[in-house]
Amino acid sequence: MRRSMAARAIASISSRLSLTERMASGHAAGDWIRTAKGRDVYSGMTTAPTSVAGARTARVIDLRSDTVTRPSEEMLKAMAQAEVGDDVYGEDPTVAALEARAAETLGKEAAVFVPTGTQSNLVAMLAHCQRGDEYIVGDCYHIYRDEGGGPSVLGGVSSCPLPTNDRGELSVEAVAAAIKVDDPHYAMTRLICLENTVHGHIQNRITTHRIGELARSHGLAIHLDGARLMNASIASGQPVRELAQAADTVSVCLSKGLGAPAGSVLCGSAGLIRRARRARKLLGGAMRQSGFLAACGLYALEHNVERLADDHRRARLLAVNLAAFERLTVDLAATETNMVFVTPLPEHHGPLREHLSGDAILTGAQSPTIRLVTHLDISDDDIEQVLDSFRRFYRS
Ligand code: TLP
């Protein structure tokens, strides 16, 4: 019975959207956000632009984000074979296995499986902070800019956003100066939120370590949004548990470069994860037979981490080749992992995206700088096709 339901779920997940269906979708509403380098980036990157209509090639090359991947046949098989139970009763062995594996990988005592990266960050905030507390955060970090102000809205936790450098890093001195003294006028500084990678940038390990020391000396905690921490680890050669060492809690997304259809894991001490689990229930994120999703996460941790190096190589290939175009500015230094940032001349921005869409190549609607993201559904051939499309645009 369980298996046949899984098979049906899998059939529906694996059914690929046809190009016609994609063409029918319109722009999503979204926000313009300012990135670490002061670029304006559109965060509503959920649907394909209407101008895919008239596409000249059959397959869509989706560079909007690494969130767009579909589970592979092997991942779907792992899902179909998953042993499941009711996770709210703590009876799902696959969820338990994923949580144990994630905790071990990140070098933490415990972990909790949650549906999204946003919820992972939010349950961490609620585990660390009480109403009236405050967290220090980079002003371009996802948790502050792109999560609906969740900690304030739902936790009564205020934010103290600080500017970052052009690699998305906070300065230790600025963080130190932002920690408030215990005075009834002020919110209580409780937490420092870090992110890695930030818009594709690997964060400096020494800075992170120093912020960790600073936090400890003031009795503060650190939460790390490591949505793409595996990318940072693979690109830098630093073990992921070392990258997570300074953090009391770390969130890792399974549904970005790792290719699972959904899910994140929050790792930390047993006590903090117990509190996060309570917050997850409160937010409606405790799921039942979520072992089917956890199986994808386990598969992703097993098979899709080392291969991130391919995404990084392809991003580099794309960046270096695009940098040769005279009328396109490419921030080569920004491509440390799987993201490429290109700025066309203002008058080319719309026509370029439209031309790419005509070739079934999707880019985010960011302006003036466009983000191109490589992931496991992008091949070497795709990169060649993208370059060819750019060439045809700039030749005409
Ligand atoms: N980021 C998405 C968009 O929301 C911008 C993307 O396409 O990059 N932390 C970081 C650093 C993220 O980039 C994201 C998603 C999240 C958390 C939230 O993850 P989800 O979408 O699973 O809630």
pLDDT tens, per residue, the chain with 396 residues: 344 443 343 333 333 333 333 333 333 333 334 444 444 443 444 344 433 444 444 689 999 999 999 999 999 999 999 999 999 999 999 999 999 999 999 999 999 999 999 999 999 999 999 999 999 999 999 999 999 999 999 999 999 999 999 999 999 999 999 999 999 999 999 999 999 999 999 999 999 999 999 999 999 999 999 999 999 999 999 999 999 999 999 999 999 999 999 999 999 999 999 999 999 999 999 999 999 999 999 999 999 999 999 999 999 999 999 999 999 999 999 999 999 999 999 999 999 999 999 999 999 888 999 999 999 999 999 999 999 999 999 996
Concatenate the DSSP letters of all residues of 303-367 into one string: HSSTTHHHHHHHHHHHHHHHTT-TTEEE-GGG-SSSEEEEEE-HHHHHHHHHHHHHTTEE----S
Atom of ligand 1 minimally distant from the CA of 195: 11
Question: Computed over its alpha carbons, how large is the radius of gyration of the chain?
Answer: 21
Among 62, 256, 375, which is best to mutate for testing ligand 1, by the most ligand atoms less than 8 A from CB?
A: 256
**In Å, what is the CA distance from 106 to each residue of 92, 208, 238, 265?**
21, 16, 12, 10
CATH of the domain at 90: 3.40.640.10
269 and 351 belong to one structural domain: no
Residue where a domain stops, chosen among 276, 303, 330: 303
Within this chain, do residues 215 and 132 fall inside the same structural domain, yes or no?
yes
Q: Are residues 234 and 119 in the same domain?
A: yes
Same domain (yes/no): 331, 344:
yes
Say how far apart CA 312 and CA 381 lie, in whole Å. Answer: 15
Expressed as residue numbers, the domain containing 391 is 14-70+306-395
- Choose among 243, 260, 241: nearest CA to 304: 260
The number of residues making up the chain comes to: 396
Please report the pLDDT score of residue 59 as a whole number.
83
Q: From CA 381, how far away is CA 358, in angstroms rounded?
A: 18
pTM of the complete model: 0.88
**C-alpha 185 to ligand 1 mean position (Å):** 34
CB of 205 closer than 8 Å to CB of 226: no
What is the count of structural domains for the chain? 2
The dihedrals phi and psi of 198, each to the nearest 5 degrees, come to -110, 115
Q: Residues near 75 by Cβ (< 8 Å), separated by ≥ 6?
A: 259, 260, 296, 299, 300
Q: Distance from the CA of 181 to the center of ligand 1, in angstroms? A: 33
φ/ψ bin of 156: left (φ > 0), alpha (ψ from -120 to 50), beta (otherwise): left
Q: Which parts of 156-303 fold into alpha helices (H)?
A: 172-178, 205-217, 229-236, 240-243, 270-282, 291-303
- Quick one: 154 and 234 in the same domain? yes
Last residue of a domain, one of 303, 322, 352: 303
φ, ψ of residue 217 in degrees (nearest 5): -70, -20
Pocket of ligand 1 (CB under 6 A): 43, 45, 65, 67, 116-118, 142, 146, 195, 225, 227, 253, 255
* Mutation test residue for ligand 1: of 33, 41, 118, 371, the one with most atoms within 8 Å of CB: 118
CB 314 within 8 A of CB 63: no
- Domain assignment present for residue 354? The answer is yes
Among 256, 278, 303, the domain-final residue is: 303
| pLDDT value for 18 | 34
